[in-house]
Structure 1
Amino acid sequence: MSLSTPSRRLPFAAATAIAVAIAASLSGGSQAASPMRDNDPANDVLIDNVRVFDGSRVLSNTRVLVIDGRIVDIGGKAAAPAGVTRVDGSGKTLYPGLIDAHAHSWGEARTDALRFGVTAELDMLGDWNRLPDLKRERESLARTQQADLWSAGAAVTAPGGHGTQYGMKVPALDKDGDPAAFVAGRIAEGSDYIKIILEDFSAHSETRRIPTITHAQAKEAIDAAHAGKRLAVVHVSRMRDGTAAIEAGADGLVHIFGEPADAAFVAAAKRRKAFVIPTLSVLGTMAQAGEGAKLVDDGKLSPWLTKEQRDSLKATFGAGDPHPAVLADAIANVRALHAAGVDVLAGTDAGNPGTAHGVSMHGELELLTRAGLSPSEALAAATSVPARRFDLADRGRIAPGLRADLVLVEGDPTTDIRASRAIVTVWKNGYAVERTRPVAGEAASPAGEALPAQTVLSDFDADAAGNAPGMVPANFGAGWMPTTDRMAGGASTGQIRRIAGGANGSAGALEVSGEIKPGFAFPWSGAMVFPSKVPMQLADLSSRKDLVFRVRGDGRRYALMLFHGNQQMPSMQMFETTADWTEVRVPLKNFPGADLSRVRGLAFTAGNPVGAFAFVLDDVRIE
């Protein structure tokens, strides 16, 4: 049951589509200000005897005074107000709150981020309806338990292209569309910067392709963004697209590619003063390098992880063989860019498998040091550099007048980057963040409904007459239903029906058939079964070891997906079909990062290539 993919080419976000559709210049020296207090002294603090990384420099054995949520003095002699909270920083380092320059934020993401010292995230594709609220929140100095968020809102992408697969209707730029008008629409919605997508999927598959805008359209979109006083950042996964974007005037790339960069690309990035957000964390997932799982095992980080974060860090894109060259090439590319003086920004692409908000930034910092950045340079890549490049004027540094988004850690991360993980205190807007240990509160994520003692989920021997339209009953749970990409705007078709005659002469089986049609980035069609009494509610499979079923079909390769917990990305295995009945046994532990105590459903689906498909299931067991 291993997922075999062509060398260096990996499956990407098709599973996300199903999941979502079914369930979104530094200040220097000592400056003093006259300490003035508001009516809430809780955002006043004096941190004394502390080593400070201010975003570029290290200041030894100094003090930082915060009044009303803003830094008013560094190393000076300004008198602290009576009653101000005093913190002894001996043996510790204070650095600015981290900025994740590439994230996809929903649910508890911003709370998770703040717990790990990430005080701001730059969302690279998200719900544009929340943009006004996000702006109000990040302008406030009120107490909060969430990181601040900037967002690109909707991206500039082709119909059916990358960014359209997440289960909600999004605007897209037609091949004959007007890029300038499209960008103007995003600016009117309040996008903080414009994200442009050049992605045909060729970096991930030898055969699968998805629609993408042209280089000429990208150039027009970049020019329109600049005319609207917005940065233009570009998603790429191939060097050819990265070079084209930079030569077209893009301010930055929001990924580095997992193929070797040539000297011309590096020279163009330097000449054009472009920045790069490598997102090595997610490239590590694509390489099957297990970088996320390593964070789960770190004793400084593990106690602060939620169950969902643990699951996400252990998850992968499919179950293929390792592709170490993907991460190795990406790291080599970052090394070359950094050596040339190109700005490198730390970003994780959190929200994807193998990542988790907040915690993955500490993994990204270590990966950047592997790519040749010094620990101090890696910290700058996560603080002052993104603040400068995205014009986040009041954060990313420790300087008088800036907001007090601060992190205090044991040790010295400017010499050992892993010391960034030994967090003592996080301050947001001058308020100490209430960090709790989610592991001690696992009851917040209870196990799902217990399964009955029987192991046969479906033998299909009973006639489906009288069941809900389109549904086929199971021996327990809510039963089977068809699922297709039509719910997310696709055109694929599919149906399921109970037929007479099953495996080994049994009375019945489940026929699943349909047609995969073009027009959607990641098409699918198939059957889904819910082990709980209510569709998509949680079921506890943790006492079971194997999913077993019999199948015959048309010789296509199919995806078996397990939906669990609050994850948008299901865990996935693949299975083959032949004209003869075959028993398939899949150890449940083989589903990467799956929370077996909180399973929502199992889907048996066809994907690309386009065309008709058909297979028959029987004797589905959870043993």
Structure 2
Amino acid sequence: MKPSTAILAVCIVAAGAPAEAQDTPLVLEGATLFDGTGAAPVPNARIVVRGEQIVCAGARNACAAPEGAKVVDLPSGSWVLPGLVDAHVHFAQTGWFEGRPDTLDLRDLHPFDVTQAQLKSSPGRYYRSYLCSGVTSVFDVGGFPWSWELRASAEHDPMSPHVAAAGPLITHAPRAKLNLPGEQEMILLSDEEAGRAAVRYMASRATDAIKIWFLRVREGEREDIDGRVIAVADEARRENLPLIVHATSLREAKVVLREGVHLLVHGVDDQLVDEEFLTLAKEAGTIYTPTLIVSEGYLNMFEAVKGVTTPSLDDPNGCIDTATRRRVLESPSLQDHPEVRKFERDFAAYRERLAESYARKVENLRRVHRAGIPIAMGTDAGNPGTFHGPSVYAEIEAMHAAGIESNELIVMATRNGARAMGREDIGVVAKNKIADLIVLAENPLEDIRHLRSITHVMRAGRLFRIEELAAE
């Protein structure tokens, strides 16, 4: 069968053939396989898929093609990788300001309750942008209770990424504009018992983790606030729930490392990490997510609405949904909005401060990497300027610029991300794993930017051409 014919046949199956046809074995062959474990690439590999599961993956002589299987001969030079995992996203945020009125309040144009109702009812706008960008799994590490509902509906849907969700954030510093009268995105950590009660509530909802938003604490309040955070960590242990923490300052990060935090979803940026931090992280088995690019996204969007720069979208495969694209490109039209006019900032000074902070984050990533602490890729997608889906490319490329080799980066963006989510059945291309993978036209080990060269995405055993997943 000619490759083009084979691919067409498979895509018809993906679009909704009867269950019997979907269970017909599917064979991908001819590409180089990088399986996400860190093992050496396998040239001219064969991957056998039945239903949602990988039956075999490796050298052709080790994986026989079942009789009657649909065979796809991938073009010469193609690479197959596990689907990417973004270990830090927020479905309650949009990539623009209507999801973060605490940063720029445009609720007169885009009421927050309406925005959240739309996001809750139509998560597919972001599901598609993730798959189109090669992301087959995401960890929502803080949002409204409805984020828990996304998990079951997405799990076996080939048009959705796998979703893990931590539910509302527990914090000593909630943002009132991010809560609604009947629903909370942030739960006030008013005292130790309030924190324990919040954990018990989330455990009753079968949350995937407990998330603490732990901002820098003034010296006179540290003992009190630390005690509340420690109580949350203790209750999470009692409920056997992993702890996720946003802590960008070294002191606060050490507090939660001593409590065995599972996932730090931001890099430390106020000072350089020291040996104590590294030792605590190794002892706790903590996964570190540096989240490098999100601040640059904010700066870009602030400059766009002020008319300082023309907004642009780094979206090589046309994945960003139409509504978000329109909001971003129309940003300069808001220059005369009252909230924008009163938003004054010295952008040159702001950029300088961000550059200083970024340099510390990069050096801390290098130190964490040299220490052998596991690292997962996460973008903080949903924040203004950090778009669901294609933001993974800039994040991975920033990590590469920090000195991490391409083969390690792919493991961080696949297997390690899956482990951050608490999943062992995804993140690698191997026997008995869920068949989530991407096909690239170019070698990502030669140039990590080749992750942008996606030609196909497989989710739960269904193969799609990238053109089928692009935004409508």
2:180 matches 1:149: no
Residue 17 (structure 1) aligns with: none
DSSP-derived class of the 1:65 partner: strand
Residue identity in the other structure for 1:184: R
DSSP-derived class of the 2:164 partner: strand
**Which of 424, 429, 433 in structure 2 is aligned with 1:393?**
424
2:64 matches 1:78: yes
2:175 matches 1:189: no
Residue 235 (structure 1) aligns with: 246
Residue 257 (structure 1) aligns with: 268
Residue 333 (structure 1) aligns with: 364
In 2, the alpha carbon distance for the partners of 1:295 and 1:379 equals: 29
Deviation (angstroms), 1:438: 8.8
RMSD after superposition? 3.4
Check the 8 A contact 2:202/2:210 in 1, yes or no.
yes
In 1, the alpha carbon distance for the partners of 2:241 and 2:430 equals: 26
Residue identity in the other structure for 2:52: G
Check the 8 A contact 1:125/1:163 in 2, yes or no.
no
Deviation (angstroms), 1:212: 12
Residue identity in the other structure for 1:155: L
Deviation (angstroms), 1:152: 0.4
2:293 matches 1:276: no
Distance 1:382 1:48, change over 3 A: same
Deviation (angstroms), 1:226: 2.0
The structure with more strand, counted as a fraction of residues: 1
Q: Percent identity?
A: 25
Deviation (angstroms), 1:97: 0.8
Residue 175 (structure 1) aligns with: 191
Check the 8 A contact 2:27/2:65 in 1, yes or no.
no
Check the 8 A contact 1:200/1:211 in 2, yes or no.
no
2:82 matches 1:66: no
Residue identity in the other structure for 1:282: V
Distance 1:163 1:153, change over 3 A: farther
DSSP-derived class of the 1:162 partner: coil
In 1, the alpha carbon distance for the partners of 2:390 and 2:434 equals: 22
Mean Cα displacement is larger for which, 368-377 or 212-221? 212-221
Residues 332-355 of structure 1: CA deviation (Å, up to 9, x unaligned): 111111111111110000001121
Residue identity in the other structure for 1:272: A
**Which of 27, 31, 42 in structure 2 is aligned with 1:46?**
27
2:153 matches 1:122: no
Residue 560 (structure 1) aligns with: none
Distance 1:98 1:313, change over 3 A: farther
**Which of 246, 250, 258 in structure 2 is aligned with 1:247?**
258
Deviation (angstroms), 1:145: 1.7
Check the 8 A contact 2:130/2:388 in 1, yes or no.
yes
Residue 372 (structure 1) aligns with: 403
Distance 1:200 1:366, change over 3 A: same
Distance 1:434 1:128, change over 3 A: farther
Residue identity in the other structure for 2:32: R
Residue 345 (structure 1) aligns with: 376
Residue 415 (structure 1) aligns with: 446
Check the 8 A contact 2:300/2:385 in 1, yes or no.
no
Deviation (angstroms), 1:398: 0.4
Distance 1:356 1:432, change over 3 A: same
Residue 285 (structure 1) aligns with: 297
Deviation (angstroms), 1:90: 2.2
Residue 458 (structure 1) aligns with: none
Distance 1:386 1:128, change over 3 A: same
DSSP-derived class of the 1:407 partner: strand
Residue identity in the other structure for 1:128: P
DSSP-derived class of the 1:59 partner: coil
TM-score by length of 1: 0.58
Residue identity in the other structure for 1:45: L
Residues 501-553 of structure 1: CA deviation (Å, up to 9, x unaligned): xxxxxxxxxxxxxxxxxxxxxxxxxxxxxxxxxxxxxxxxxxxxxxxxxxxxx
DSSP-derived class of the 2:20 partner: coil
Residue identity in the other structure for 2:228: Q
Residue 336 (structure 2) aligns with: none
Residue 89 (structure 2) aligns with: 103
2:279 matches 1:267: yes
Residues 358-402 of structure 1: CA deviation (Å, up to 9, x unaligned): 100111111111222111111111110122243212100001011
DSSP-derived class of the 1:369 partner: helix
Check the 8 A contact 1:102/1:122 in 2, yes or no.
yes
In 2, the alpha carbon distance for the partners of 1:269 and 1:337 equals: 9
Distance 1:114 1:397, change over 3 A: same
Residue identity in the other structure for 1:54: D
TM-score by length of 2: 0.75
| More RCO (CA 8 Å, sep 6+) | 2
Residue identity in the other structure for 2:33: V
Deviation (angstroms), 1:325: 1.2
Q: How many residues align?
A: 393
The structure with more helix, counted as a fraction of residues: 2
Check the 8 A contact 2:321/2:471 in 1, yes or no.
no
DSSP-derived class of the 1:334 partner: helix
Deviation (angstroms), 1:235: 0.8
Write out the 4+ residue segments of structure 1 that deviate beyond 6 Å after TM superposition.
Answer: 210-213, 292-295, 311-318, 437-440
In 2, the alpha carbon distance for the partners of 1:433 and 1:267 equals: 44
Distance 1:233 1:77, change over 3 A: closer
DSSP-derived class of the 1:367 partner: helix
Residues 44-70 of structure 1: CA deviation (Å, up to 9, x unaligned): 421111111111222222111111121
Deviation (angstroms), 1:295: 11
In 2, the alpha carbon distance for the partners of 1:191 and 1:211 equals: 28
Residue 214 (structure 1) aligns with: 225
Check the 8 A contact 2:89/2:379 in 1, yes or no.
yes
In 2, the alpha carbon distance for the partners of 1:434 and 1:419 equals: 17
2:153 matches 1:137: yes
Matches within 5 A, 1:440-589: none
Check the 8 A contact 1:157/1:212 in 2, yes or no.
no
Residues 74-109 of structure 1: CA deviation (Å, up to 9, x unaligned): 132323241514132420111111111000015322
Mean Cα displacement is larger for which, 381-390 or 430-439? 430-439
Residues 411-435 of structure 1: CA deviation (Å, up to 9, x unaligned): 1112211000000000110112364
